[in-house]
Structures are given as structure tokens and as C-alpha cells.
């Protein structure tokens, strides 16, 4: 057997990045390497693990389900975990969200949302097909997801495939009104099908936070102009911003909402797109050409759905909110020291997410400092993946104060 790996890794420049670290186990907030090394997972394995790796209740639910039903075609067939999950999702989201469409990643949940929006207007006989999005947004790496996301080094080679989107400036502090005015102007220009937003925080776009009142105003403007409001809660959902869903903080009910990442507690891939009844009804017809033509082979995989049901049970049974509040308090306490430290800028926090920028002459995603920091943190057995010169922490909710303090100590050590 050749020792050279055949794996092509995501978001990895194999020519300059060190070999991937082999991990053969995980528990709680820790990744286990075969040689006994333990690495603290301060980014929740790319934002998916909420309660911790291998939460016993989720592991048990997966084991129980695999013994009964592994997979079944989801057109013309259904199964208990999907039915239970859909019912419970409808119950915990705002009352207007009544239907659940399953898929298997955040990107596909966004594709589904965009297709729902365009199908809605087409079947209603209205000519609305343009999409609005925020500058700096990230909505996934499929063609539709990239189209509504920020353009740049990530998608330049595929530019010819991406569709045009109208962009609203990001509501930086002090310039929120410009965003709202741009939204109003775009809505008035006509032909707009939907606005898609990451509520309260742009994740991959650099952990940029904006206040709930802006989200709420954006929703009201959309409503006044009959523009569908799509909330991409793929990252913000499941407690990340301090509430179960970020939209709650703005008292906003989206017309369409995307959830993934923490949906299964981070154990298995699954995504859902929830929508209002009239979006479902626009596709409901004896005319078969109005069918919602979308599916992935593994749509609503029973084992993944069972894991998601177990996740919801954990939210009901365990003091998840208290854990989130504790992590938020620890972030606040430690970040406080960074605020008047001139090596740091834009120190910010929302719920369990903490972020700050390292002051450097070459900012941006390809800032040379990023890979160096990544290596330095790993040398201290902490997994932190800076977004350029932005360092962020998004730990699993099982992380203790002591563990988080150790992470902050590592940051202070590395930056010194
Ligand atoms: C991660 C992410 C996606 C894409 O999800 P995948 O599961 O990686 O396809 C979409 N939108 C947002 C806001 C995300 O953070």
C-alpha cells in the first residue's frame, strides 16, 4: 500500500498545507489521534457539533434506527423519524412555517429555498425571478449557493456559471440605513423574488455581526413589497447566537428557513428547508408540471432523521440554554481583556461565537497570518481555523469554563 493519501481535502491547498491530521476518535469537545494526542475542537468541527462529539443520546438513537430501517426512497414513501422530526420542527419554529422539505447539506437546503421561491412566483403567474443578498454572504458551495454568496477568490473560476444577484451593502455599525435604503430601492424596482440573509451574523464572510433591529426592518421592507424573506440559519441555528434560532432575537418569521449543521447535533448530514403554507400550496395542483422537482438520493435518510429527533430531545431534557449562556459569559469575560489591546481589533461576540481581528498589514481571507496562526494553535493542541486575520471561537456547548480558559490562554500565548 502506498503511504501517499488519495484524498483531496476541502478548502485545502495541498501544495502548501501540512498533511492532514489523522483522527480516529472524539468525545465531548476533544478530537483523538491514534498516538494519544488530544486536540480541543474550538470550531465544533466546522460549526456542526453542538452538544459535543458522540453525545450518548444521539449515538443510541442512531444505533436503534440502523437496526430498523437504514434508507428508503422518500418519494411515495415516508417513515417515523421523518414524520416525527417534521412535526417537531414545525412546532418549535414560528407558526407560519408549516412544511418541511428534507435535503442533506446546508448548500442543498439553500438551493431548495431558492427553487421554492422561484417556483412560488412562477406558479402564481408573477414575473419575479431576481434574488437579493447581502454583501459578504456565504450560502454554500453549490452553483446556486455560490451565486447568492460573495464573489471572490473562492468562486472566480466558476463565474460564468453563476447567476446575477443584487447585493445590499453589509449593515456595518452606523451605515445600517444604507442597507435598508438599498433594500427598499431594489424592492421598488420590481421583479424581486426573494431576499436571502444569514440572520444576525455572516459566518464564513468573516463573523460579521449586525443587530436584530436591522434584521427586523429588512423583514418588514420585504413584507411591504411582497418579497420573500429567506433566512439561512444553517450556521446560526441550534443555539449558536444564544437563542435556538437567530431570527427569534428580531422577532422575525421568515417565509422560508434553512437549517442544517447542528440539526443532528453535528452527528450526521441532514438539512431541512421550512416554508409557509402558501409556498407549498403554489406547487399544489392537479397539474403535474407544478411538482416541486427536487430530490437527493438520501433525502430524509432515516438514521439522520433519528439523530435529529434525538437532538431535539436533548434540547428539551438537558440545560442546553444554560450551557450556552455559560459559554457566552466566559467569552465576554475573556474578550474584555482584548478590547483595549492594540494587537486586536473589532472584538465581537454573539452567543457562543466570539471573534476578533489580528491587526496586520495584509488583511482578508488569504492573509498570510492565517495559516501561521492555525499552525501555532495546533502546536498547542487547539483547533482554530482563522478566516484570514479573523480569529473566531465556536466551541461545542459541552465545553467547560476551564477548557475555554485554556483556549484563551493559548490565544494569548500565540499572539504574544
Ligand atoms: C455552512 C453553511 C452553508 C453550507 O452548508 P454545507 O452543509 O456546508 O453545504 C450554507 N449557509 C451557511 C450560512 C453556512 O454557514
Question: pTM here?
Answer: 0.97
Domains in the chain, CATH or no CATH each: 59-317 (3.40.640.10), 320-371 (no CATH)
Tell me how far apart the 2 most distant CA atoms of the chain are, in Å. Answer: 67
Phi, psi at 124, each rounded to 5°: -85, -5
Per-residue pLDDT averaged across 162-168, rounded? 97
* Angle made by CA atoms 13, 18, 23, in degrees to the nearest 5: 110
Phi, psi at 32, each rounded to 5°: -110, 125
| Span 70-89, pLDDT tens digits | 999 999 999 999 999 999 99
Half-sphere exposure of 174 (CA within 13 A, CB side): 0
Residue 232's nearest CA partner among 206, 205, 204, 256 is: 256
Per-residue pLDDT averaged across 183-204, rounded? 98
Name 248's Cβ contacts closer than 8 Å, sequence gap at least 6: none
pLDDT confidence tier of residue 1, bands split at 50, 70 and 90: very low
C-beta 203 within 6 A of ligand 1: yes
**Whole-number Cα distances in Å, 327 to 334, 351, 354, 396:** 11, 8, 10, 9
Query: What confidence score (pLDDT) does residue 145 get?
Result: 98
Per-residue pLDDT averaged across 100-122, rounded? 98
Query: What confidence score (pLDDT) does residue 416 get?
Result: 86
Residue nearest atom 15 of ligand 1, based on CA coordinates: 235
**Whole-number Cα distances in Å, 211 to 8, 25, 174, 220, 390:** 39, 39, 11, 15, 20
Per-residue pLDDT averaged across 24-48, rounded? 98
Rounded Cα gap, residues 258 and 272, in angstroms: 6
pLDDT confidence tier of residue 158, bands split at 50, 70 and 90: very high
Q: Which atom of ligand 1 is nearest to the CA of 204?
A: 15
DSSP E strand stretches across 238-366? 256-259, 271-276, 344-350, 353-358
Residue nearest atom 8 of ligand 1, based on CA coordinates: 106
Q: Which atom of ligand 1 is nearest to the CA of 198?
A: 13
Task: Write out the H or E segment, with its range, that includes residue 132.
Answer: strand 130-134
Task: Report the chain's mean pLDDT, rounded to a whole number.
Answer: 96
Cα 343 to middle of ligand 1, angstroms: 30
Amino acid at each position: 500500500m502506498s503511504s501517499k493519501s488519495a484524498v483531496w481535502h476541502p478548502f485545502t491547498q495541498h501544495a502548501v498545507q501540512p498533511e492532514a491530521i489523522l483522527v480516529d476518535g472524539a468525545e465531548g469537545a476533544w478530537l483523538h489521534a491514534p498516538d494519544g494526542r488530544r486536540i480541543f475542537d474550538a470550531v465544533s468541527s466546522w460549526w456542526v457539533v453542538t452538544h459535543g462529539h458522540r453525545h450518548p443520546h444521539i449515538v443510541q438513537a442512531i444505533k436503534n434506527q440502523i437496526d430498523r430501517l437504514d434508507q428508503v426512497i422518500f418519494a411515495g414513501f415516508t417513515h417515523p423519524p421523518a414524520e416525527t422530526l417534521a412535526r417537531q420542527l414545525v412546532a418549535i419554529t414560528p407558526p407560519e412555517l408549516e412544511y418541511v422539505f428534507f435535503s442533506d447539506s446546508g448548500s442543498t437546503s439553500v438551493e431548495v429555498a431558492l427553487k421554492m421561491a422561484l417556483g412560488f412566483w412562477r406558479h402564481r403567474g408573477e414575473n419575479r425571478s431576481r434574488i437579493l443578498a447581502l454583501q459578504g454572504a456565504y450560502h454554500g458551495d453549490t452553483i446556486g449557493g455560490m451565486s447568492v454568496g460573495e464573489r471572490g477568490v473562492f468562486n472566480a473560476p466558476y463565474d460564468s456559471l453563476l447567476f446575477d444577484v443584487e447585493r445590499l451593502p453589509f449593515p456595518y455599525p452606523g451605515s445600517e440605513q444604507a442597507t435598508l435604503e438599498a433594500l427598499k430601492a431594489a424592492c421598488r424596482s420590481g421583479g424581486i423574488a426573494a431576499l436571502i440573509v444569514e440572520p444576525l451574523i455572516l459566518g464564513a464572510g468573516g463573523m460579521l455581526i449586525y443587530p436584530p433591529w436591522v434584521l427586523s426592518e429588512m423583514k418588514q421592507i420585504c413584507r411591504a413589497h411582497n418579497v420573500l424573506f429567506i433566512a439561512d440559519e444553517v450556521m446560526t441555528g441550534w443555539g449558536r447566537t444564544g437563542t435556538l434560532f437567530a431570527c427569534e432575537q428580531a422577532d422575525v418569521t421568515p417565509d422560508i428557513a434553512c437549517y442544517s449543521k447542528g440539526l443532528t447535533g453535528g452527528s450526521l448530514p441532514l438539512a431541512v428547508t421550512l416554508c409557509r403554507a402558501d409556498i407549498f400550496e403554489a406547487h399544489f395542483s392537479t397539474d403535474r408540471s407544478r411538482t416541486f422537482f427536487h430530490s437527493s438520493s438520501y433525502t430524509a435518510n432515516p438514521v439522520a432523521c433519528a439523530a435529529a429527533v434525538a437532538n431535539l430531545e436533548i434540547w428539551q431534557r438537558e440545560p442546553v440554554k444554560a450551557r450556552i449562556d455559560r459559554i457566552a459569559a466566559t467569552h465576554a469575560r475573556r474578550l474584555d481583556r482584548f478590547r483595549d489591546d492594540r494587537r486586536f481589533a473589532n472584538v465581537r461576540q454573539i452567543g457562543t461565537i466570539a471573534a476578533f481581528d489580528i491587526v496586520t498589514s495584509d488583511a482578508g481571507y488569504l492573509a498570510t497570518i492565517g495559516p501561521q496562526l492555525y499552525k501555532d494553535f495546533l502546536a498547542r493542541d487547539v483547533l482554530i481555523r482563522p478566516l484570514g486575520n479573523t480569529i473566531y471561537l465556536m466551541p461545542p456547548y459541552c465545553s467547560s469554563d476551564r477548557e475555554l480558559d485554556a483556549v484563551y490562554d493559548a490565544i494569548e500565548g500565540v499572539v504574544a
